Amino acid sequence: MPKVPKNSYERDDGDNDDDGCDGDDSGDEEDGDDGNDLDLELSLRLPLQKKFFRRPLPGENTPLQQQFLFYMAQVPLENKVPPQQFYLHSLPSEESTSTPISPSDPHPLSSQPQPQSLQLQPQPLQPQPQPEPPIPHPSTSSCNTSQSLKPSRKRRSSQESPSTHPSSSEQRQQKPNISRRPRIKPKDTAIEPPYPWSTANRAVVHDLKYLQQNQILTITGDVKCSQCQKQYKIEYDLVTKFDEIASFIEKNKDTLHDRAPSSWTNPNLPNCKFCGQESCMRPVIPPEDEDDDYKNINWLFLLLGQMIGCLGLKHLKYFCTYTNNHRTAAKDRLVYLTYLSLCKQLQPSTELFHR
């Protein structure tokens, strides 16, 4: 008698050992060919299948599928129907012929009347009608056509040679930056000194030792009244005025932070001796439009009178260009650099005037 496949879904614990089964097929071999014992065993297993049912794992068969496969093994090969045809085709009529199970095949229920097996006849599949595609709305169809007419953006493939697309460095060389202002190059030509304390170089004065040896101790300059438009000369003592500026820098250099104080950017101008107007005498400075006249600026006179703040940005940048100072800065920084550079020209060996 063929073995009945044991249900792999019943729980294997000690409470279910009444029928003599411990998880293997040894009990089935001892039963022999007795059909009554097999019926008893099946009747005992059926309640366990319902009570201790668990979800099948992937690739395993359910208890119903195991019973189906067991009984299908007893059907002759010529009467078997593939599962696909069994589920896809309808059942045949009652008039269809049936073939009984051969008596040579052992069956556990041979004593009971065997049901006649139905011979399934395959029927051709009928094609199912496919639904018609929906008719697009005219407004949506116009939008789709407009989108389809747009040229698709092509991605750059890795096979394209880099020569077709120039690099960023090549583009910079091909397209010069027009917005950048041309850099002012200092002129190397020597000039005739406009004042006795000036040198042949632009924006450079003699040092204090040279001036004392040549008895140049008084510095003069032209001023003009902004009220009555009168113009005259003013004199400053070289040593006295220079000591005032040097002592001020020595006391306040750490707190200035490379910025000129308000007394340097907005200086107190002298009073007019003709009209009596206060703080109206401004130094005579060439206009900012006349670049050729910048060489005539009286730098030492403006330093001693602390009137460098009266200069414009172009004048200050001109001075920084010829004294190797950074010319791109705010006015208070340019004024501070001008004061410090002129003091350094007078006393080059003093570390106080070094940045």
Q: Are 70 and 5 in contact (CB under 8 A)?
A: yes
Q: Are 101 and 75 in contact (CB under 8 A)?
A: yes
| 245 assigned to some structural domain | yes
| 131 assigned to some structural domain | no
d(CA 55, CA 289): 97
pLDDT at 293: 85
Among 163, 241, 253, smallest CA distance to 197 is for 241
Q: Low-confidence residues of the chain, pLDDT below 70?
A: 1-54, 56, 77-186
Tokens of 78: 């010529």
pLDDT at 291: 77
Indicate left, alpha or beta for 30 from its phi (over 0: left) and psi (-120 to 50: alpha): alpha
| 222 assigned to some structural domain | yes
| 134 assigned to some structural domain | no
pLDDT at 16: 47
pLDDT at 253: 92
CA-to-CA dists, residue 253 to 49, 168, 260, 335, angstroms:
100, 46, 10, 14
| 169 assigned to some structural domain | no
Q: Are 229 and 236 in contact (CB under 8 A)?
A: no
| 150 assigned to some structural domain | no
pLDDT at 355: 75
Among 104, 6, 106, 110, smallest CA distance to 48 is for 6
Indicate left, alpha or beta for 101 from its phi (over 0: left) and psi (-120 to 50: alpha): beta
pLDDT at 81: 58
Give the domain extent around 264: 208-346
What single string gives the DSSP state of each residue in 29-47? HHHTT-HHHHHHHHHHHHH
Q: Long-range contacts made by residues 112-119, C-beta under 8 angstroms, separation at least 24?
A: 117/75, 117/79, 118/91, 118/92, 119/79, 119/92
pLDDT at 354: 85
d(CA 122, CA 81): 9
Q: Are 225 and 277 in contact (CB under 8 A)?
A: yes
| 203 assigned to some structural domain | no
Does the global pTM surpass 0.75?
no
Total domains present in the chain: 1
pLDDT digits (tens, 9 = 90+) for 295-335: 999 999 999 999 999 999 999 999 999 998 888 889 999 99
| 301 assigned to some structural domain | yes
CA dihedral (245, 249, 250, 255) in degrees, to 10, reads 160
pLDDT digits (tens, 9 = 90+) for 314-325: 999 999 999 988
pLDDT at 77: 65
d(CA 277, CA 118): 133
